[in-house]
Structure 1
């Protein structure tokens, strides 16, 4: 009996160790990928404007033109307050359906965005081809930014709803995501794509939540506790879904958690070191020429396009910045963002 208890104790420890190891390896990889993508987003607000002024290359100028055009269009034509109130009147079923549709649409737009941007900036210098590709990319960017603004509004409505409604929406979404990913055969390459989707989703989620919190603090501080509770619930739900999903993917497909370390070494560490080179980056196992600056090209290899995020943030905060801040204050804000970018780079170096 004593031997049986001792054996059971060792099994419990090994099971616990197995769970902790998988979660640690997963979180290490997700946070490293998230920071590499965040570095690309910060690059748009800090390095890109300066590079465009100092060295107006095609890729820099066209990206600035794309961002400004889409941001201005959405500032005038996106009915944010009307959509918010329309969604707020909907019941749980419709809100849950929209919540799930937002995630599916984002996957499709990310996949096409990588193709559109690489085609635009890697295509020939024929004027007709460039103009056509620019217009197609402009339409894509408008649609992706519109989608992200709608997603922001959906999250805003969900967080401002009652706690019970928010929990129901999150639980329903969790079951849908687990069903889509867990119950099918997954190899290393498919797992790599799932990991990339997860750290991009987490970056997008944190961007939405931070935007909602800042907007709430600007407009009214009376409802901050309820909003903070909603943000905490959404964040915990997102992290827990990733843990459950990846644990069972590894378990069902008999994949070792060391695969995450392999992803970090081959696809993240090497890419971070290649940022200094500015000529090539690694897209899974291939060496691919950079079509943009090094930071953006590396993020693009993970299917993250920072342009829609930049447009969304400019649409949300651009009016306030233009109306309330002076040129000096805008310059100081850019300096603050550059400091954040330096901190992010330092954290990446530690995690690498």
Structure 2
């Protein structure tokens, strides 16, 4: 047990450090006045296209790529939120209209580039591997089924996170580190209402988490009901091969 705990702690520390350095690199690129951000976007997107586009890809591999893209977008959203928090709470003396426009332009360029690269990548993969676009509906159905099934387990959404390869603890540690170092010093916690403010903030995030969980579960249930029926039962046998696919499962001697 002690060895398992030590290994888990070491992995969590290493993973959090990787995410921290990625967030720092993105923050430096956004706040730089040179073309560092453009260079970073071109290098990352070119590597992503070269890695996935020119490979033989089955439906299982495409499922892994889709899950990886979803996790990547969520991580990118967290990085942008961290940069925004640093900009508001640390560089608030530089909060001018011109600086705000510059940061907004950088955020927009990052989001547009990420969406365009994903579209191009998936268009090439589905075109050259002769896959129909409705394969993404099967991916959605499988994830919705996992979400609906997880509502009856002791660890909600654990199956969905495992299938998508999403590890929330490192991101949580990164958020705690950033918000603890950047936001808390700016708050008047020494005031008598400081503990009350922390309690209300914690309750707000708990309520937000509960609301998001209910919304995701409701969407999954409605999607399953809409796509149910005889047609869905006929496709069940075809989907069974995809149901055993995880983010880091070895499919065709490769992991996408």
Indicate the TM-score class for this superposition, using the shorter chain for normalisation.
0.7 to 0.9
- Which has the larger share of helix? 1
> Aligned in 2, Cα 1:300/1:329: closer, same or farther, shift over 3 Å?
farther
Alpha-carbon distance between aligned partners in 2 of 1:195 and 1:214, rounded to the nearest angstrom? 29
Alpha-carbon distance between aligned partners in 1 of 2:117 and 2:22, rounded to the nearest angstrom? 19
What is the Cα deviation at residue 163 of structure 1? Answer: 6.2
**Match for residue 308 of structure 1?**
170
Is contact 1:159-1:227 (8 Å) kept?
yes
Q: How does 1:17-36 map to 2 (within 5 A)?
A: none
* Cα root mean square deviation, aligned: 1.9
> Aligned in 2, Cα 1:202/1:192: closer, same or farther, shift over 3 Å?
same
Aligned match of 2:123 in 231, 247, 251? 247
1:148 and 2:19 are equivalent in the alignment: yes
Q: How does 1:158-169 map to 2 (within 5 A)?
A: 158-162=29-33, 164-169=35-40
**Match for residue 335 of structure 1?**
203
How many residues align? The count is: 209
- Runs (5+) with no aligned partner, structure 1: 1-129, 280-292
Alpha-carbon distance between aligned partners in 2 of 1:344 and 1:133, rounded to the nearest angstrom? 32
Is contact 2:59-2:135 (8 Å) kept?
yes
**Match for residue 350 of structure 1?**
219
Alpha-carbon distance between aligned partners in 2 of 1:322 and 1:231, rounded to the nearest angstrom? 25
Alpha-carbon distance between aligned partners in 2 of 1:211 and 1:192, rounded to the nearest angstrom? 29
Is contact 2:67-2:165 (8 Å) kept?
yes
TM-score by length of 1: 0.56
What is the Cα deviation at residue 215 of structure 1? Answer: 1.3
Alpha-carbon distance between aligned partners in 2 of 1:190 and 1:176, rounded to the nearest angstrom? 18
Please give the per-residue CA displacement for 1:130-176, whole angstroms capped at 9, x wherever unaligned: 11111011111000001111001000011112364322331232221
When structure 1 is superposed on structure 2, of 138-147 and 310-319 the one drifting more is 310-319
TM-score by length of 2: 0.76
Is contact 1:141-1:308 (8 Å) kept?
yes
1:269 and 2:131 are equivalent in the alignment: no
Alpha-carbon distance between aligned partners in 2 of 1:300 and 1:332, rounded to the nearest angstrom? 32
- Runs (5+) with no aligned partner, structure 2: 224-256
